[in-house]
A and B are shown apart, each in its own frame.
Chain A
Amino acid sequence: MSAVARLLARRPARLRILSASGQLGYGIPAEAFAEGVRRGPDFIGADMGSVDPGPAFLGSGEIATSPQATRRDLALVLQAARAIDVPLIIGTAGTAGAAPHLETTLALLREIACEHGLRFRMASIRADLPRERVRRALAAGELRALGAHLPVTDADLDACTHLVGQMGCEPFERALALEPDVIVAGRACDTAIFASIPKRLGFNMAHVMHLSKIIECTSVCCEPGGRDAMLADLDHEGFVIESMNPNRRATPLSVAAHSLYEQADPTRFTEPDGTLYVTGARYEAVDARRTRVSSATWEPAAQTTLKVEGAARVGHRAVLLCATVDPGFIRRIEQTLAEVEAITRSMVEGAYRLYPRLYGLDAARLSPRGEVGTPREVFVLVEVIADEAALALAAAKTFKQYFLHHGFPGRQCTGGNVAFPFTPPELAAGEAWRFAVYHVMPAPDAPALFPVTVEGVGG
């Protein structure tokens, strides 16, 4: 009997859920995870992805974490789940959850199984959306940008190398029906990783979704926050959460405050399956390190909506890195940048875009610049984007030389205007990407969009 089949047959009145990682692949703290496993969880869940790292990973199909650390983390959770024979659920495989990310993750799990002589049934759920399906939504005016303006056209959809939908609980429930030991999903809601089993077991969905929302980030909801494994103990009246690192306290305030994290609205959370309202939620201290949570409310969705994510290649990137300490150069540096760009364009023909950033002069700021004065040192990063890698690098090289030797009134530093930290100071930085789609669409056909397969691994 598989781990999932046994858990579902047992129908426990209390369910202990271990969240191993909010971003598997960066290194799961082993001690806290081991403590969580010792507590005898009914299943283990781990999130493996996010849009946070930007469009490059969804676009390229590569994973953000190193193969070495990713393999270590996967081995840690897989071996633990098999040792105590409980289900393991992994969501948003390989950072972005498109086909190549899922394949890479499945391949690593098969390798680990082979190496450690593990045998199990593994279900996998794909999250790639047919381009035609998204195109239909666009034509019907059903694609709505999530939170702000992001115009999208058929050409944008064509330019996306990968288009994924973020699955809710339904595909996981179909995977559970196949009675696997391990479920690995492509792009998925973080909550669905933890919510699908308790949903299937008939626990109150308000508790289930609230719990999932909190523990998907592991110990981030604690004081002090961290990345250690988090345990939730769910019953029919609410749930208790506890960090598996004894130095992290889940207090009523720290847990309530977690609702703010990375959300536009801290009081309600819209998921494919419905909306969670936490305004009326109660947070009570069990002791100094544990908090009991209850009384959120859940409204099932009248119609399933899906978040759609797509990344398109915008060209190749080259970067130039240098710094300046000359006060006269710093005072007119923006004018110099414009002059050197004009010279570069007269020397290097072709279509490319230049984005200089002046660190020390509000370079990291997305809003209008403040009053800065003349800093002692300014770091200059020039990003060049072109269709061809060679052209981006050519522009960066010429820009570098004319920037170094550019003349200006009152110039004293005639040896050179900037300091290079190493050579070459202009680097090819690979392909450049953008999020072309970050929208929601109604999807009554959602079950057909996330196909599930199951395989026997090992043995």
Chain B
Amino acid sequence: MPTLAELATVVRSKNAGPLMLSFDLMFPDRATFERALAAGSLSATRIAELYGVPPAQVAVVPYPVAHAIKIALPRLIVAGSPGDRDVYGAQQHAPLLGLEL
């Protein structure tokens, strides 16, 4: 099965404020977007496992007008606090790349 990295045009992460991480998955067309939505691999439960947060704190929001899916979840460490590893949150997308759709 193809992976998210193979099907998406954009897979990015960024802080949504210092307490949240947000991910944008953008697809080239409506059909691919719908295929990604239908695949179970982008469920809140699966994402929660990958990022080590409770499923109830993961939001997966389809945004059809841009053939996109938004994911938001809490950061395990507040951006910029001692011990942080990614102040802008711009490099947290890698665990998603291999998800099979």
Binding site for B on A (CB under 8 A): 51-56, 145-150, 253, 256-257, 259-267, 281, 283, 314-315, 317, 353, 355, 357, 363-368, 370, 383, 385, 432-435, 438
Contacts and interface: CB of A to CB of B under 8 A. Distances in A.
7 contacts: A147-B20, A260-B63, A265-B59, A267-B61, A267-B63, A366-B92, A367-B76
B75 to A, nearest CB: 6
Interface in B71-101: 72, 74-89, 91-92, 94-95
A433 B80 contact: yes
B28 to A, nearest CB: 10
Contacts, number: 139
Contacts of B83: 353, 355, 383
Interface residues of B, number: 44
A364 B86 contact: yes
A150 B78 contact: yes
B88 A52 contact: yes
A365 B97 CA distance: 14
Given A148-B20, A265-B70, A283-B65, 15 more contacts: A146-B20, A148-B19, A149-B19, A253-B67, A256-B65, A259-B63, A260-B26, A263-B70, A281-B65, A317-B82, A364-B85, A365-B85, A365-B92, A365-B94, A367-B76
A55 B68 CA distance: 31
A315 B15 CA distance: 24
A253 B66 contact: yes
B3 interface: no
A354 to B, nearest CB: 9
Contacts of A353: 82-83
A355 B85 CA distance: 10
Interface in B1-31: 14-22, 24, 26
B86 A54 contact: no
B59 A55 contact: no
Given A52-B15, A257-B68, A366-B85, A264 B20 contact: yes
Contacts of A433: 80
B24 A260 contact: yes
Interface centre among A259, A267, A367, A383 (most CB of B within 10 A): A367
B18 A51 contact: yes
Contacts of A355: 82-83
A433 B80 CA distance: 7
B96 to A, nearest CB: 10
B50 interface: yes
A265 B72 contact: yes
Nearest to B92: A366
A283 B21 CA distance: 27
Contacts of A317: 82
A149 B78 CA distance: 10
Contacts of B84: 54
B87 A53 contact: yes
Contact of A383 (B18, B51, B52, B82): B82
B74 A148 contact: yes
